[in-house]
Amino acid sequence: MSIALELSNVSLAFGGVYALSDVSVAFPKGKIIGIIGPNGAGKTSLLNVASGLSVPLQGRVLLKGADVTGQKPNRIAGLGLRRTFQASQLFPSMTVLENMMAGLHLGSHAGLFACALRTPRMRREEEEMRERAMAALDYVGFAHFADRPGNALSFGQQRIVEIARTLIDAPEVVLLDEPAVGLSVNRVAELDALLRRIRDERGVTIVMIEHVIRLVMGVSDHIVVMNSGRKIAEGSADEVRENQEVVTAYLGAQGSGH
């Protein structure tokens, strides 16, 4: 089985507090991996190290086998890894489609000079970007929201737009930080179906931090459990449910109906 993303013996500390202690995880290509654990367990820190936002004190990050430890987030994104952020919101003054396009590297091919002059090449590039953004919005079923202002969407809907945004450039790995926050039960079921589609139709490896246990246990091919900066267990949903350390650290504390 080929590995899309791997963290090997990664440690990360903030002023002596270890957010991650010697964590090793490997995420197989084309699978959905759920990361669970109580608040402060190190889940977001793991995504931050993987996406280049945090540089680990020790250890390595391998993306498709290539060592990307310490590389800038933009560079890692360019190698096919995209992510969403916890509790991120769209810019209210821009439309949903403009939000999708914000942060894309407009002018990266056309060059600065062409950008300043808005040459035909630049306009073509912008148009192509708009089409790709629109196609990604359509893929998640949100094409009808394209021209609405960002703040016309509910918080939960904005998270789905964030997922759509990760899909624009045909990523190989997508990291999602709590995608189900703010979604109603029906919408969680839709998110479940969307994640499976992204995996099955596009072969994307999805690594997802999620507190909605029903979703994460149902949709994940593999689950990693974190506690106090360490990986305490991993396996199938059933294996994780039966692990006594997990029950004590997490499921027992929060209740499995969460």
Ligand X SMILES: Nc1ncnc2c1ncn2[C@@H]1O[C@H](COP(=O)(O)OP(=O)(O)OP(=O)(O)O)[C@@H](O)[C@H]1O
CB of 100 to ligand X, least distance (A): 25
Taking the complex as a whole, the smallest distance from the CB of residue 20 to ligand X amounts, in Å, to 8
Strands (E), the chain: 3-14, 17-28, 32-36, 58-63, 66-67, 81-83, 173-177, 205-209, 222-227, 230-235
Q: How many other C-beta atoms are found inside a 10 Å radius of the C-beta of residue 139?
A: 18
CB atoms within 10 A of CB 243: 19
Nearer to ligand X, 23 or 195 (CB): 23
In whole angstroms, the minimum distance from the beta carbon of 209 to ligand X comes to 6
- Chain residues in the site for ligand X (CB under 6 A): 14, 17, 19, 37, 39-45
Tell me whether residue 17 or residue 185 sits nearer to ligand X (CB atom). 17
Order across the sheet with 222-227: list the strands. Answer: 81-83, 173-177, 205-209, 32-36, 222-227, 230-235
- 11 or 95: whose CB is closer to ligand X? 11
Q: How far is the CB of 66 from ligand X (least distance, A)?
A: 25
Tell me whether residue 41 or residue 191 sits nearer to ligand X (CB atom).
41
